[in-house]
Structure 1
Amino acid sequence: MEPIQPQQRRAADQVFQQSLDQLEDILQESLAEEEEIPQLPQLDTSSLSEVELDQDLINIDLAALEDAVADIEQYLEEKTKTKEKS
């Protein structure tokens, strides 16, 4: 492997610094836009009890969750088999 020349490093550093500057500008513009957007009203959750909130979380479709777990397990098995073959 060839060592990186000092000129190449400087050029890469300059490109990187320019990218950081552009990112900073974008983030500052984004923050300025967010300040201009009026805040959305907060949902009134005082009428919901903790039990009702917990029940909403429990009402997740169990079959869909099981399918998702099965898909993840199958993916992990295939990935493990692929690594073992390598």
Structure 2
Amino acid sequence: MEQNQQHNRRKADQELEAALEQLESILTEGETEDEAIPDISTSNANAVDQSEDVTDADLAAWEDAVADIEQYLEGRTKSNS
């Protein structure tokens, strides 16, 4: 029974790691797409600056969350070894 639980936990860990890697690649891809889009708005620069600040803050929050999760998983992997 204990071996089955360990197997299920390892499988869940692997699935979570794969999902995190996929999320990271999506975030990285999003960064390059954001850089490729030229800023054509000249009529309301304040609105553009505010929306970019919100987007940057959201992206930074996601990156921080991913980093925290990766650190947690590394700690769990080391403690399970």
TM-score normalised by length of structure 1: 0.44
Richer in helix (by share): 2
Larger Cα Rg: Structure 1 or Structure 2? 1
TM-score normalised by length of structure 2: 0.46
